[in-house]
């Protein structure tokens, strides 16, 4: 889908109202992200974007009115557009919102959520991912993909992106995506994606929202194995780190072997046992076989029958993720920042 060439500088603000509010506030020590806190983040992103040249800001109206209410009374040098796609209060709402932003001509998105929220964004982008810049801000629980950054500065970077200023800058990188295909329960075809981790669980069930039981972990495929992360990523990262820039992932086989304590959720450590790790290059398929459940970025979505298998392939074909700090430093070094003000007339 081609971007509109009409001179407008469009930024879409994609807010998941349910991120940071799931059962892990009870089962672990994850913090609670309030709607008011999200409104404040949206307002700061908008202020930064408008100050750096964004002409049009797009939000989606959802039942909690987070983004729309945040911008309703702000004095901004940008037009605010409130889109109204059909929202069903379901996990698909983020995908619906993302497609609405694309239809409105946005090619720079700022997302507020966790790994699961950004997975939904990427799934909705599909083949349009090559044309989209994404700035993911963390408001979820297990946050490996999104970043903790000052929203004001994130908005400034988003405006630079939307204006095309970063197109040739070395501050963007397409993210790695796990592509899942095969046959699931009832013989239905499975086609899905993951951003950070794909986990094969035994003796579990689809829809379970509790933190993973280490005794049920069988195999992990990680796009990023980071020792300073929370969730599945540090299980591999504490043994064989793989970062976002590496053109590879990490396959982790659980079983008798190296035992250690891993931070599976905020404030929640559990003993895990890793039998083996293997660095997996891009475009090399791996099979998750036998009766179990496939979880993608923490969401247990797919049942694998006893005689079934799903094929997972890691590719670098997601949207362009913008390095916020890198973008600002590059803009200063190239004379793009700070934005100039009109000369004052001397009395």
Q: Are 142 and 181 part of one and the same domain? A: no
Do 80 and 125 lie in a common domain?
A: yes
The reply to whether 62 falls in a domain is: yes
- Judgement on whether residues 54 and 159 belong to the same structural domain of the protein: yes
Residues 17 and 157 placed together within one structural domain of the fold: yes
Cβ distance 261 to 277 under 8 Å? no
Residue 222: predicted pLDDT: 99
Q: What is the pLDDT of residues 243-297, one digit of tens each?
A: 999 999 999 999 999 999 999 988 889 999 999 999 999 999 999 999 999 999 9
Question: 130 and 218, same structural domain?
Answer: no
Q: What CATH number should be reported for the domain holding residue 192?
A: 2.60.200.30
Judgement on whether residues 170 and 36 belong to the same structural domain of the protein: yes
Q: Give one DSSP letter per residue of 73-103, joined into a string.
A: T---SSEEEEE-----SSTTHHHHHHHHHHH
CA-nearest of 231, 134, 223, 241 to 179 is: 223
Q: Do 83 and 34 share a structural domain?
A: yes
User: In the prediction, which pLDDT does 185 show?
Assistant: 82
Give yes or no: residues 254 and 284 share one domain: yes
Residues of the chain with pLDDT under 50: 21, 23-26
Do residue 310 and residue 184 come from a single domain?
Answer: yes
What are the backbone angles phi and psi of residue 294, rounded to the nearest 5°? -95, 120
Which tokens hold the place of 216?
């049920």
Give the pLDDT confidence score for residue 25 in this predicted structure. 43
The rounded distance, in Å, linking the Cα atoms of 60 and 154 is 19
- The domain total for the chain is 2
User: What's the pLDDT score for residue 340?
Assistant: 74
For residue 65, give its domain range.
10-175+319-333
What was the pLDDT predicted at 3?
Answer: 58
Is residue 182 domain-shared with residue 171, that is, in the same domain?
no
């Amino acid at each position: 889908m081609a971007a509109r060439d009409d001179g407008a500088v469009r930024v879409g603000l994609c807010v998941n109202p349910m991120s940071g509010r799931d059962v892990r506030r009870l089962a672990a020590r994850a913090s609670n992200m309030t709607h008011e806190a999200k409104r404040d983040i949206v307002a700061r992103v908008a202020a930064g974007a408008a100050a750096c040249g964004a002409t049009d800001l797009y939000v989606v109206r959802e039942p909690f009115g987070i983004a729309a209410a945040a911008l309703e009374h702000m004095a901004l040098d940008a037009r605010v557009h409130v889109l109204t796609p059909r929202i069903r209060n379901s996990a698909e709402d983020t995908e619906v919102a993302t497609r609405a932003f694309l239809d409105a001509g946005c090619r720079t998105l700022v997302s507020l959520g966790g790994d699961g929220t950004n997975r939904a964004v990427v799934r909705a982008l599909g083949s349009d991912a090559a044309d989209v810049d994404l700035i993911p801000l963390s408001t979820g629980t297990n946050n490996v993909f999104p970043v903790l950054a000052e929203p004001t500065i994130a908005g400034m970077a988003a405006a630079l992106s939307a204006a095309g200023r970063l197109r040739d800058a070395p501050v963007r990188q397409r993210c790695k995506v796990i592509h899942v295909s095969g046959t699931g329960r009832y013989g239905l075809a499975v086609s899905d994606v993951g951003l950070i981790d794909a986990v094969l669980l035994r003796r579990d069930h689809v829809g379970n929202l509790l933190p993973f039981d280490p005794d049920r972990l069988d195999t992990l495929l990680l796009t990023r194995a980071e020792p300073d992360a929370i969730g599945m990523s540090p299980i591999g990262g504490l043994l064989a780190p793989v970062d976002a820039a590496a053109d590879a992932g990490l396959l982790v086989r659980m079983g008798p072997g190296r035992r250690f304590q891993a931070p599976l959720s905020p404030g929640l450590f559990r003993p895990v046992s890793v039998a083996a790790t293997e660095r997996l290059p891009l475009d090399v398929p791996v099979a998750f076989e036998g009766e179990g459940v496939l979880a993608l970025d923490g969401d247990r979505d797919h049942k694998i029958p006893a005689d079934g298998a799903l094929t997972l392939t890691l590719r670098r074909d997601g949207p362009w993720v913008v390095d916020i700090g890198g973008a600002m430093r590059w803009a200063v070094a190239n004379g793009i920042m700070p934005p100039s003000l009109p000369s004052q007339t001397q009395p």
